Chains A and B, each alone.
Chain A
Amino acid sequence: MKNIITTLIISLFFATNAKAQNYICRDGETSFFSETPLENIAAINKTVNSVLNITTNEIAVKMVMTEFKFKNHLMEEHFNENYMESPKFPNGIFKGKINEAIDWKKDGSFDVTAKGTLIMHGVSKERLLKGKVTIKGEEITLLCDFNIPLSDHKIDVPKLVIAKIADNVAVKNKFIFTAMKK
């Protein structure tokens, strides 16, 4: 009896250890697109960091706003100086939890939703985001598209340029997670 318990506990211990709980992505891509008849604005950030905990389904995303690259340097300067105020609010953050129970060890594709807090321009907003998880071996890919209304995060657009910037900015995310080494 004693031996059985010991082996059971030991095997449990190894089981938890064999599969790392934290998955990390250091080069996630977040892009956004604002479309108006006058002007399209697009930018991409390829250095987004994210951690996914597969035991608790918790997810954390953090990006540096100045890492968004634009085709037009002036747009980039205005984005940081006038709209996002990057020196004051350097990061964009999402902290949340994936609602669906997923067997992270099995290959496949799943639609998921995540509830959490999106912090941008110093303003926190509760959001329910929809995404898609694809598991292939040791790699987990997370795709997530959503819209951000600029007014939600107190991003002021002056009347002079209001026709050039969409009220709703489309955001696309792509994170490829790999298991974190202990």
Chain B
Amino acid sequence: MKNIYILFLLLLSVTVKAQDDPMDVLEKNTKPTTTFATATFKSTRVINGQSVETMAKRHLDFRIAHRFGALNTGAYNYFGLDQATMRMSFEYGLTNDLMVGIGRSTTQKTFDYFGKYKLLKQSSGAHIMPVSVTLFASIAAVSLSTNPENSFSSPSFANNIERLSYCTQILIARKITDGFSLQISPTYLHRNKVFRINSSDASEVLEPNDIFAIGFGGRYKLNKRTSINAEYFYRLPSFNDQYTLNSNYHNSLSVGVDIETGGHVFQLHFTNSLGMIEKQFIAENTESWTNGGIHWGFNLSRTFSFDKKKKKDNW
């Protein structure tokens, strides 16, 4: 008789188990997923500098960026709008982590080529990664015709190698909250040839070919489609006494707004840099906020999807 009671109890326990909430059963028997942070920044640029974002696979980004003249040139120059420098580029995602781009700037008629690779992606859940890390490398080629005077606006080159400069960055960013992201971007820049703005400067101290800089960038979302962005690049002093940073060049500071509408991202900003590639706005930025060299500018980004394979899928 005792055995029967034990069996009864066993049976009861089985029945009780059968009445478990299926949601609990589901939670216990499925693997937790890893969630990757999306849209740390709205665009592949914070303002001038690169952000950790890359283009998705088979997506093309057509960018047109303008920087107008200085605000303090007054009403006669329509507060700078009469003059414009621009950069146009095509940037394409080869994979979801690797993108390439080609661009041309009016400043010194410069062509630039770059690649960007997402090394680490910020994630939470099963696999936790606190930051996103993206590697960036670019080559810029000045195509301005050579001039024996050797000034910044019309330099002289002995050969085509001298026209090249290189930039590498390690972009480290974290989407701290849903609306707030921060990025730090250690930068190494090498120019094959450096120029003096004042050729009359008799001092023998040379400007370094290598420049190390640290970029700081952030974005704060005002609402779902608008954010405020800010960016600053600090050039580290030269390590070698023979060289010193050219005092005519200034660190770059930019403040702006990102507005997103469907496939477009509009980035409107104020900046003291006219150049839109690293060599120009980090190493050769001639104006500063303190002397009134503030420029109004915009980046316009339009994304096209060429993902034909997925389009064929039947939903």
The chain A residues found within 8 Å of chain B, CB to CB, are 2, 5-6, 9-10, 12-13, 16-17, 21-22, 24, 26, 31, 33, 42-44, 47, 49-53, 55-56, 58-60, 62, 64, 66-67, 69-74, 77-78, 80-82, 85-88, 90, 93, 95, 158, 160-161, 164, 172, 180
**Which stretch of B13-21, B191-199, B210-218 is in the interface?**
B13-21
Q: Hey, which chain A residues are within 8 Å of B27, CB to CB?
A: 62
Task: Looking at the assembled complex, report how far the CB atom of A129 sits from the nearest CB atom of chain B, in whole angstroms.
Answer: 16
The answer to whether A71 and B26 touch across the interface, beta carbons within 8 angstroms, is: no
The answer to whether B18 and A77 touch across the interface, beta carbons within 8 angstroms, is: no
The answer to whether A72 and B18 touch across the interface, beta carbons within 8 angstroms, is: no
The answer to whether A66 and B310 touch across the interface, beta carbons within 8 angstroms, is: no
Residue B201 interfacial (CB < 8 Å): no
Q: Hey, which chain A residues are within 8 Å of B310, CB to CB?
A: 69-71
Task: Looking at the assembled complex, report how far the CB atom of B259 sits from the nearest CB atom of chain A, in whole angstroms.
Answer: 11
Q: Hey, which chain B residues are within 8 Å of A158, CB to CB?
A: 225
The answer to whether A16 and B35 touch across the interface, beta carbons within 8 angstroms, is: no
**Which stretch of B4-12, B81-89, B144-152 is in the interface?**
B4-12
Q: Hey, which chain B residues are within 8 Å of A78, CB to CB?
A: 262
CA separation between A85 and B177, bound complex, in Å? 13
Nearest-neighbor residue (CB-CB) of B32 within chain A: A64
Nearest-neighbor residue (CB-CB) of A56 within chain B: B19
Residue B116 interfacial (CB < 8 Å): no
CA separation between A72 and B4, bound complex, in Å? 64
Task: Looking at the assembled complex, report how far the CB atom of B292 sits from the nearest CB atom of chain A, in whole angstroms.
Answer: 37
Q: Hey, which chain A residues are within 8 Å of B18, CB to CB?
A: 16, 21, 53, 55-56
- New A-B pairs, 4, CB < 8 Å, besides A5-B4, A12-B11, A180-B29: A6-B4, A47-B33, A53-B18, A86-B38
The answer to whether A73 and B315 touch across the interface, beta carbons within 8 angstroms, is: no
Digitize B218-239: 1 where CB-to-A-CB distance is under 8 Å, 0 elsewhere: 0000001100000000000000
Among B1, B57, B224, B261, point to the contact of A2 (Cβ < 8 A).
Answer: B1
The answer to whether B23 and A95 touch across the interface, beta carbons within 8 angstroms, is: yes
Task: Looking at the assembled complex, report how far the CB atom of A157 sits from the nearest CB atom of chain B, in whole angstroms.
Answer: 11
Residue B74 interfacial (CB < 8 Å): no
The answer to whether A16 and B11 touch across the interface, beta carbons within 8 angstroms, is: yes
The answer to whether B19 and A74 touch across the interface, beta carbons within 8 angstroms, is: no
Task: Looking at the assembled complex, report how far the CB atom of B59 sits from the nearest CB atom of chain A, in whole angstroms.
Answer: 6
User: Could you tell me the dominant secondary structure of chain B's interface residues?
Assistant: mixed
CA separation between A5 and B1, bound complex, in Å? 10
Nearest-neighbor residue (CB-CB) of A94 within chain B: B23
Q: Hey, which chain B residues are within 8 Å of A44, CB to CB?
A: 313, 315
Among A22, A24, A73, point to the contact of B59 (Cβ < 8 A).
Answer: A73
Q: Hey, which chain A residues are within 8 Å of B224, CB to CB?
A: 81-82
Residue B303 interfacial (CB < 8 Å): yes
CA separation between A70 and B1, bound complex, in Å? 64
Most interface-central of A59, A60, A161 (chain B CB within 10 A): A60
Known contacts: A42-B315, A62-B23. The answer to whether A13 contacts B7 by CB under 8 A is: yes
Task: Looking at the assembled complex, report how far the CB atom of A103 sits from the nearest CB atom of chain B, in whole angstroms.
Answer: 17
The answer to whether B26 and A50 touch across the interface, beta carbons within 8 angstroms, is: yes
Known contacts: A90-B35, A95-B23. The answer to whether A17 contacts B14 by CB under 8 A is: yes
Q: Hey, which chain B residues are within 8 Å of A42, CB to CB?
A: 315
Task: Looking at the assembled complex, report how far the CB atom of B62 sits from the nearest CB atom of chain A, in whole angstroms.
Answer: 13
Q: Hey, which chain A residues are within 8 Å of B38, CB to CB?
A: 66, 77, 80-81, 86
Known contacts: A6-B3, A73-B56, A88-B178. The answer to whether A58 contacts B35 by CB under 8 A is: no
Most interface-central of A49, A58, A73, A82 (chain B CB within 10 A): A73
The answer to whether A180 and B56 touch across the interface, beta carbons within 8 angstroms, is: no
The answer to whether A77 and B23 touch across the interface, beta carbons within 8 angstroms, is: no
CA separation between A72 and B36, bound complex, in Å? 18
